[in-house]
Amino acid sequence: MVAHDYVDGVVEVFRKNDRIMSIKLIIRDEIVYVVSAYAPQVGLDASITQQFWEDLEEVVRRVPRGEKLVIGGDLNGHVGPSRDGFESVHGGHGFGIRNEAGKNIVDFASTYELAVMNTWFKKRDSHLVTYRSGANSTQIDYFLVRTTWRTSYTDCKVIPGESAVTQHRMLVLDFRGKKSGRVKVQGEPKIKWWRLEGNLQQSFAHKMLEEDVWSIDNDAHVDYVWLSMETTINKVAKEILGESKGCLPLKKDTSWWNDEVKQAIRAKRECYKKLGKSWSDENIEEYEEARRRAKKAVKEAKGKVNKELYVKLDSKEGEKDIYRLARFHDRRTQDIRKVKCVKDVDQRVLMDVEEIKERWRSYFDTLFNGNKVQGIDDLTIPECMVNRDFVRRIQTTEVKEAMRKMGRKKAVGPDGIPIEAWRSLGEKGIEWLTRFFNMIWRNNKMPVSWRKSTLIPLFKNKGDVQECANYRGIKLMSHTMKLWERVVEQRLRKSVKISENQFGFMHGRSTTEAIHLLRQVVEKYRDTKKDLHLVFIDLEKAYDRVPREVLWWALTKKGISRKYISIIMDMYDACTTSVRTSVGRTAEFPITIGVHQGSALSPFLFALVMDELTKSIQEDIPWCMMFADDIVLIDETQSGVKAKLEAWRQTLESKGFKLSQSKTEYMECKFGGGRSSSYSGITLDGKEIPVCDMFRYLGSIIRRMVN
């Protein structure tokens, strides 16, 4: 178990086997490796004991020599009270008589220059004995540290009244670390929007309707109008709902703790202390009875709390709590919840707060802005093809429909206002939003604050947790801005036709349909004993690589009104983001390529661009199917699918996209007889693409299914 104060410092967990595991953590800007070990009991086969020490040696060798190392655990041996030739590792203040297992411990410590810290401080026996069973007292639990760091440890002793587990006493090692220059990072205050329901929701709406912010002067600046409303909503919400300090820790559930449990636990501890002084029959019986009462009190208290929870979860109101509870317990079971210190490009671990923030900023800046493609094909469009038709202003019904489609309980953007705030304001809120959206419509300018976003790095649960490349960025944007996007998106969908080959984010089409069609064609060719060849295309960072000029070109080619294009161009003008890290927020940086991640409009814009780019090379379904950037091409011959892939490569790369050589895969279904080759013969960037026997397509496994 790792104390809560140090949980966020854990950057690596290594499980060697059931007996040995280690963690790498950062304490006060120092890297410390902590190894937990449980040696085999005396009397087991010698080969088991030998294997344990070999495994422990392997774990120790993984630790760089310059780093702090602490080994703690039940080593099941007696090192004895004296040094006897092990002066460098034994302090001369041990307990008991050294046995063969204890000789293994000091031999191991001597080999790897480790000090047995239990023996370096003169203590009374009660502070040395780590294991007690009846009248038997021994020392079998130890802390071992590097001898070069021994003087930084100030004490090591047993806490007599505390049991770590049955019969084992708690062993504590104190160390003196260097002073940290790091300033404690304060969580960002957050309004308690989750309380916006029932009476509080009514109070919020009533208070807002009393505010003098509902009239809009058509001559006023859009930034002034929005700032006035944003400030008022946040002010009223703080008054009605309250404000948290932000970044609340994951605390252990103690909702079952009450006075009865407290008294029972206290009585058990008192009996245990008496037992430590005298193992009389009376004391043993008294302790056993106190232990039973404490166990019963805890069981009854937890049962009562759980029963109340089950009743709540079984109600309609409790449905959302099920998912919240599941997420909470999932986070508690993760080895690493978040990491503060990351590595720079030279693999150096950064510990300085400003260096860490700059590393995150530069990584995402390069990721989002470092893929500018040169030599894009001519994007000139004749003036006669530009659609300059009149477009009517925004209607109240459109805002209502867009509001209905907005998600619930989503993380807020930089302005801190969730869509639930607007829902609470009812018709008055809809009317104000309609007037405000029309103000943006007339001026082709949305508020400056909407151009800001917050980027949250989420670990992909694979690879080194300290590598920025193993994180994906989720962008949090203003909910009101996303509502504005959805209003525009609704109109675009009505005026633009996307080919039926695109199944992603299209009304009436889904992953289920695409998977069914693919399985159907594979099964058909299997039944008729005909060969089938498939290529699954993967685009590198597809959303992040869309050149803005290609986006404007595709919108124009699709015949979209110039007014809509101007509105969308404004959404992407002067956009900036900052990364919210575990050590604070980074400086802002611009985003100049790609479509917005986390945007309501982006999926449709991406589908539109892909459709316009590939319309001349798309074939009938199911020979060519797309789900956003997941593309599958099918043909009866290898040469046919190879030609198709080359056509797609040339078309997409001429407009700034790039096909991934390692993730684009080829599947050969030899239903007509003969052997499948382990070589595809199909290349990208001069390298052969992988051949697969199975492929996860839209979450479903597609197999080669050899006859």
Q: Which domains does the chain have, with CATH numbers?
A: 4-175 (3.60.10.10), 259-333 (no CATH), 368-703 (no CATH)
Q: Rounded mean pLDDT of the chain?
A: 88
User: Using 50, 70 and 90 to split pLDDT, how confident is the model at 630?
Assistant: very high
Tell me the mean pLDDT in the region 419-433.
Answer: 97
pLDDT of amino acid 334 = 61
pLDDT of amino acid 19 = 94
pLDDT of amino acid 707 = 43
Residues with Cβ within 8 Å of 528's Cβ and at least 6 positions away in sequence, in order, are 671
Which amino acid makes up residue 500? E
pLDDT digits (tens, 9 = 90+) for 431-463: 999 999 999 999 999 999 999 999 999 888 778
CB atoms within 10 A of CB 17: 11
Secondary element (H or E) of residue 649: helix 638-653
Strand pairing category for 243-244 and 168-175: unpaired
- Are the CB atoms for 597 and 543 separated by under 8 Å? yes
- Are the CB atoms for 59 and 22 separated by under 8 Å? yes
pLDDT of amino acid 503 = 94
- Are the CB atoms for 187 and 248 separated by under 8 Å? yes
Segment 620-624 long-range contacts (CB within 8 Å, at least 24 positions apart) = 621/500, 621/501, 621/517, 622/517, 622/518, 622/520, 622/521, 624/501
Tell me the mean pLDDT in the region 63-88.
Answer: 91
pLDDT digits (tens, 9 = 90+) for 245-281: 765 554 556 778 888 989 998 998 888 788 777 778 8
User: Using 50, 70 and 90 to split pLDDT, how confident is the model at 6?
Assistant: confident
**Dist CA 2 CA 103 (whole Å):** 30
List Cα–Cα distances, 312 to 306, 308, 318, 321, 514, in angstroms.
Answer: 10, 6, 5, 9, 39
Which amino acid makes up residue 260? E
User: Using 50, 70 and 90 to split pLDDT, how confident is the model at 355?
Assistant: very high
**Predicted TM-score (pTM) above 0.85:** no
User: Using 50, 70 and 90 to split pLDDT, how confident is the model at 338?
Assistant: low
pLDDT digits (tens, 9 = 90+) for 574-608: 999 999 998 889 999 999 988 988 888 999 999 99
**Dist CA 70 CA 62 (whole Å):** 13
Give yes or no for residue 41 having a pLDDT over 70: yes
pLDDT of amino acid 373 = 61
User: Using 50, 70 and 90 to split pLDDT, how confident is the model at 42?
Assistant: confident
- Are the CB atoms for 577 and 405 separated by under 8 Å? no
Strand pairing category for 452-459 and 576-581: parallel
Q: Which strands sit side by side in the sheet containing 136-138, from one edge to the other?
A: 136-138, 131-133, 168-175, 153-165
pLDDT digits (tens, 9 = 90+) for 202-231: 999 999 999 999 999 989 999 999 999 999
Tell me the mean pLDDT in the region 377-389.
Answer: 80
Residues with Cβ within 8 Å of 680's Cβ and at least 6 positions away in sequence, in order, are 666, 668, 688, 689, 690, 691
Sign of CA dihedral 121, 122, 127, 133: positive
Give yes or no for residue 183 having a pLDDT over 60: no
pLDDT digits (tens, 9 = 90+) for 84-123: 889 999 999 999 999 999 999 999 999 999 999 999 999 9
**Dist CA 689 CA 661 (whole Å):** 6
Residue located via tokens 């300033």: 183
**Dist CA 43 CA 39 (whole Å):** 12
* Residue-wise DSSP of 224-282: HHHHHHHHHHHHHHHHHH-EE-S--------TT--HHHHHHHHHHHHHHHHHHH---HH
